[in-house]
Structure 1
Amino acid sequence: MRKTFAKAVLLSTALLVMSACSPLFAAEEPDLFEYEGAAVGNNSAVLNTLNRLPGAEHLTGFELETKQQPYGITASYDWEEATPSDKETAAHNATYLFTLIDNVEWVQFDFDTGAGVEQYRLTREQLQAWYGVDLTGIDEQEKLEELLEQYLDEGQKIDALLTQP
């Protein structure tokens, strides 16, 4: 009886380990367009979107402005240990937020670098003019990533975008 039980436990453990390594159980790439059409007032959709964007591991909080228009989002990051560019992260994440959240008109990113807080505020109108594209018309993640690749490779363009009044 003991031998049978030990064999069953060993077999169960082996199957568990093998199934955990199986590609069938591999985590899927998150689909950010799951929240397309969300509103600023849906803090769950905003949080889930922010948690799937670059810099999410440094996100310390966010605030939603929903009491009066224009509606907006402020995201705060602890950027002391971060290696990516805060400016590129702000432009990238703003692009996703304006594409996915219908009624957001401005976004602000506060990056606490340890030496101070770098703050970037972008409006939907400003970003769409920069791209020359209506972001609400983009309905696939691949199309949005192509647009980002075209514009986010040039640091001077991003600097110009983020220093506009």
Structure 2
Amino acid sequence: MEVKRIAGYLLFSLLIVLFLDGCAINNDETKDSSEDIFQYNGAVIGDNSAVINIIGQLPHNEKFKEVSLETKNKPYGMSLTYDSLDVPEVGKEYKETAITNATFLFTLVKNAEWITFHFENQTYKITRFKLQDFYSKDLNEFTSQTELNAFVQEQLVNESKVSQLFVQ
């Protein structure tokens, strides 16, 4: 009789554990794959945490190595260093990454005026003024990640325009 009682408790315990496991919330599966990047809208160059959190949600964030923030002298800016990208068209991908990431950073970090991107064998410097001229639109008008990303992707289709942005 005692064995039946122990087996019953074990079975009941197993069922409880399985039930609770099935009801558990798995954050990786239930939340959006990224936070709302626009929660950092209005960040400033001096806010290291916000800048790093923004970079962590941008394209090729897994290749991001370091950021150096220029906060002592105006115009304020930053330098980002990336490991090499493992993609077929590296040059094109570097330019598109620089444009996309600069767009989000300039939109969200209000006092950033320039960004230098250091890739494996290539360096690109983009200024807020030049990027807004490239778009013919004020970056402060955007209010969501989806809207801004769609706008950037539309602009990247024109390869000659993209190349022109990097002509000194």
**Would you call these one fold, judging by a TM-score over 0.5?**
yes
> 1:100 aligns to what?
108
* Post-superposition offset of 1:154: 2.3
Residue 41 in 1 paired to residue 52 in 2?
Answer: no
Residue 162 in 1 paired to residue 133 in 2?
Answer: no
Residue 54 in 1 paired to residue 47 in 2?
Answer: no
> 2:31 aligns to what?
27
Say which is worse superposed, 55-64 or 132-141, in terms of deviation. 132-141
Contiguous gaps of at least 5 residues in structure 2: none
> 1:7 aligns to what?
12
Tell whether the 8 Å contact from 1:58 to 1:82 is kept in structure 2 after alignment. no
Q: What is the alpha-carbon distance in structure 2 between the residues aligned to residue 51 and residue 14 of structure 1?
A: 35
Q: Which residue, out of 136, 144, 147, partners 2:148?
A: 144
Q: What is the alpha-carbon distance in structure 1 between the residues aligned to residue 104 and residue 149 of structure 2?
A: 9
1:126-152 CA-to-partner distances (Å, cap 9, x unmatched) read: 000010011122222232123212201
Say which is worse superposed, 100-109 or 8-17, in terms of deviation. 8-17
Structure 1's consecutive aligned runs of 4 or more residues displaced over 4 angstroms after TM superposition are: 20-23
For the residue of structure 2 that corresponds to 1:69, the secondary structure is: coil
* Post-superposition offset of 1:153: 1.6
Q: What is the alpha-carbon distance in structure 2 between the residues aligned to residue 146 and residue 82 of structure 1?
A: 22
Q: What is the alpha-carbon distance in structure 2 between the residues aligned to residue 12 and residue 22 of structure 1?
A: 19
Tell me the TM-score normalised to structure 1 length.
Answer: 0.86
% identical equivalent positions: 34
The code of the aligned residue for 2:54 comes to T
* Post-superposition offset of 1:7: 3.4
Tell me the TM-score normalised to structure 2 length.
Answer: 0.84
Contiguous gaps of at least 5 residues in structure 1: none
RMSD across aligned positions (CA)? 2.3
Who wins on radius of gyration, i.e. which is larger?
Answer: 2
> 2:157 aligns to what?
153
* Post-superposition offset of 1:21: 6.9
Q: What is the alpha-carbon distance in structure 1 between the residues aligned to residue 27 and residue 37 of structure 2?
A: 25
Tell whether the 8 Å contact from 1:33 to 1:140 is kept in structure 2 after alignment. yes
Q: What is the alpha-carbon distance in structure 1 between the residues aligned to residue 24 and residue 157 of structure 2?
A: 40
